Amino acid sequence: MKILCFGDVVAQSGLDALCKNLHLLKKEFSADAVIVNGENASMGQGNGLSAADAEALLAAGADVITGGNHSFRQKSLYGMLDDRNDLLRPANLHGSCPGKGYTVLPVNGVNLLVVNLIGRVDTDLPASCPFETLDRILKDMEGQYDAAAVDFHAEATSEKLALAHYFDGRVQIFFGTHTHVPTADAQILPKGCGYITDLGMCGPSCSALGLRPDIIARKLITGLPCRFEPAATPPVLQGALFTLSPFLSSCTKVERIEKKL
């Protein structure tokens, strides 16, 4: 079984590029399911992910959309977060927040548990311990899934690596999101978990995380508030393809993906 995962969708150009090409990419890589982190797709509309943009990603072929620290920026999404099982927000946020943090995705006769978590190092949301949260979810869902995939939306590479190693053998797919920069450490951990620290992003290339570099430079130099604007450059689609063993007990291959359009 092959699971295709894409990093944070950034701005309209990233959204349009992924929606236009997702069906072809799924076919090219013979993917059985697609997971997309969509939390920046509506950048330019106040950041986050709007209901309309979420619908566009799902219609284009995303099987599950995950979120992060911008999950609640767009109030139009709140109803969808509560009503749909294919749209997630981090599971370790407060239980009163809209939505849910995990779902079971049927894929070709087997059940894939998809979990969305957020880190606690240098993030701006109050979150409970991701270790304790994931441990509880895996115990609560025991017997209801055949393999598990985790999107850990976090800043610190050490936090991502620590969580992945801690659950190696209990989780088959583990990928990081949030930094918008793809890492070169795609690997299989000792007990069979496929891992990469960050998938990267789907958004404007030659940019500062999808944004105009001159604006970010000015903010860093002056410390003054500024309005973030997406870079007007061709989009790039970044992610990874995870191949699971026939019995779904482990990951056998992790391949980085980058498509420049």
- Cβ count within 10 A of residue 120: 18
Active site residue 94: no
SS3 sequence, the chain? CEEEEECEEEHHHHHHHHHHHHHHHHHHCCCCEEEEECCECCCCCCCCCCHHHHHHHHHHCCCEEECCCCCCCCHHHHHHHHHCCCECCCCCCCCCCCCCCEEEEEECCEEEEEEEEECCCCCCCCCCCHHHHHHHHHHHCCCCCCEEEEEEECCCHHHHHHHHHHCECCECEEEEECCCCCCCCCEECCCCCEEECCCCEEEECCCECCECHHHHHHHHHHCCCCCCCECCCCEEEEEEEEEECCCCCCEEEEEEEEEEC
**Which residue in the list 23, 70, 94, 178 is annotated as catalytic?**
70
For residue 159 the two structure tokens come to: 């936090």
**Residue 218: partners with Cβ closer than 8 Å, 6 or more residues away:** 224, 226
Which residues participate in catalysis according to the annotation? Answer: 70
